[in-house]
Amino acid sequence: MSPARRYPETGVFYRALDREFPMIVRGEGCWLIDDRGNRYLDACGGAYVANLGHGVSEVSDAVAEQIRKVAYVNGTAFTNEPAEALASELRGLNPKGLDFAYFLSSGSEAVEAALKLARQHWVESGKPGKHKIIARTPGYHGNTLLALSASARESYRKTYGPWLVPVTMIKAPYAYRSAPDSPEMTAQALEDAIKKEGADTVAAFIAEPVGGSSTGASVPPTDYYRRVREICDRHSVLFVADEVLCGSGRTGKWTALEHFGVLPDIMTLGKGLSGGYVPLSAVVATERVLAPIAKGSGSFKHAQTFSHSPAICAAGLAAVRHIKKHGLIERCARMGAVLQERLSTLKSLPAVGDVRGLGLLSGIEFVSDKGAKTPFPRALQFAETFVARARDAGLIVWPNTGHADGENGDLVMIAPPFTISAVEIDEIVSRFKIALEKTLEARHVQR
């Protein structure tokens, strides 16, 4: 008999309490296999995490070997070999200047720590008035309370509103829905917000260099971040690049911001940093950010029991070395071009408003009227229906809703492991078409 897998028969509770989940028992490359023998083409690497694909024994062996040596090291008293080695590998990969890494376990934790670091930098630089954060809408930085405060994800925020802190929101560049000379596309929106808040009160601007689910892999104009950098410098505001989703090679370069030739002050990495083998994230900072703290109080006022854990750093180290050894970033760029080209053929299908992205990160936005770019009414649950139909067709994609106007908007993300083949990309496209046909049928959408 199959085990129970639906609340309340099972003792596990997942985010969705109203449905049954298949039980995954194995992964092979880009594929997941459930206990009934069904195979799913994991076209989103789980949640943009399984960058190396499943079954890379160098990573699992490295974790096992490390745990055999030492189980845990208190990061306030000792350092450990994997943390040191991973930090030096990252120094080689990160844009020059982003030299110092603080290891944690999730993207939300990294964002919380990055924003706290920005605040502490200003306090210890003798500018305690600088405390405000500017973030973008749509945008997402995590689900712990400070990260959620900086996230424009209404569905998550609504219930916890009274606990969230004020964060100034500016519009994100969103080429499909923004005019090219609009303040959000030129970064003028950032300058306007800093002036309105008063530069002496603003600590940091946080942004996802290339959009994740929130804007469906929207790529800002080439000049956007050069302008952001110049505005931040002029107003003494730290620029925090949240590379949790788009970093670690996903766009075909180690960090997405490299496409724009700009250096942030603080950067977060997560998700695919360990290839998903363990939960690993990092806050990376420049010397300029850490110097006032090193000279001042001497310690970052933030602590978590499992920071710098040797086991998770060992996984990250093995993952990063595997990426380098097999040229997976270059492969991501190469296969990314194939993916973007093949997905672009979907633009002619009914309800497909836009297809966009960079490298192996892409978003497909659905609309009810292609000319007017009108989103489907939220009540239709188009994205959710698509994801369910795709799963029936053995294809796993990631949905997002609400990006068009805060409430409406349906898109799905495709971000497969860097090891995806051209044949598997064709398989994504053909299963996508089946899922779309079934969704249009289920939602009675005119073709």
Q: Are 357 and 217 in contact (CB under 8 A)?
A: yes
Angle between helices 382-392 and 422-442 (to 10 degrees): 130
Tokens of 260: 């724009």
User: Least distance (Å) from ligand PLP to the CB of residue 37?
Assistant: 30
Q: Residue 434 CB, nearest distance to ligand PLP (Å)?
A: 27
Using Cβ positions, the residue closest to ligand PLP within the complex turns out to be 107
Nearer CB in complex with ligand PLP: 83/206: 206
Q: Are 412 and 426 in contact (CB under 8 A)?
A: no
- Residue 404 or residue 413: which is nearer to ligand PLP going by CB? 413
What residue spans of 17-161 are helical by DSSP H?
A: 45-48, 57-69, 81-93, 107-124, 145-149, 154-157
Question: Of 256 and 404, which CB lies nearer to ligand PLP in the complex structure?
Answer: 256
Whose Cβ is closer to ligand PLP: residue 45's or residue 142's?
A: 142
Q: How far is the CB of 140 from ligand PLP (least distance, A)?
A: 5
Structure tokens at 440: 């249009």
What minimum distance in Å lies between the beta carbon of 441 and ligand PLP? 31
Cβ at position 39, least distance to ligand PLP in Å = 26
Q: Return the bridge partners of 395, or none.
A: 41
Beta carbon nearer to ligand PLP, 187 or 361? 361
Whose Cβ is closer to ligand PLP: residue 110's or residue 123's? 110
Q: Cis peptide leading into 417, omega within 30 of 0?
A: no
* Cα–Cα dist 96/158, whole Å: 40
Q: Name the one residue in this structure whose structure tokens are 């024994």.
A: 57
Rounded CA separation 152/171 (Å): 10
Could you list the beta-strand ranges (E) of 243-360: 266-269, 281-285, 352-358
What is d(CA 239, CA 302) in angstroms, rounded to the nearest whole number?
Answer: 20
Distance CA(293)–CA(296), nearest Å, equals: 5
How far apart are CB 109 and ligand PLP at their closest, in Å? 7
| Phi, psi dihedral angles at 132 (to 5 degrees) | -80, 150
Q: Where along the sequence are the contacts to ligand PLP (CB under 6 A)?
A: 106-108, 111, 140-142, 208, 212, 242, 244-245, 270
CB of residue 291 to ligand PLP, shortest distance in Å = 26
CB of residue 145 vs ligand PLP: minimum separation in angstroms? 12
- Return the number of the residue (214 or 368) whose C-beta is nearest ligand PLP: 214
CA-to-CA separations, 401 to 196, 324, 409, in angstroms, rounded: 30, 35, 5
CB 10 within 8 A of CB 4: yes
Pick 53 or 139: Cβ nearer ligand PLP: 139
Measured from the CB atom, the residue of 16 and 422 that comes closer to ligand PLP is 16
Write the DSSP symbol of residue 298.
S
Q: Enumerate residues 6+ apart whose C-beta is below 8 A from 174.
A: 138, 184, 211, 215, 218, 403
Shortest Å distance, C-beta 390 to ligand PLP: 19
* Distance in angstroms between the alpha carbons of the first and the last residue of the chain: 42
The least CB distance from residue 428 to ligand PLP, in Å, is 21
Nearer to ligand PLP (CB atom), residue 109 or residue 424 = 109
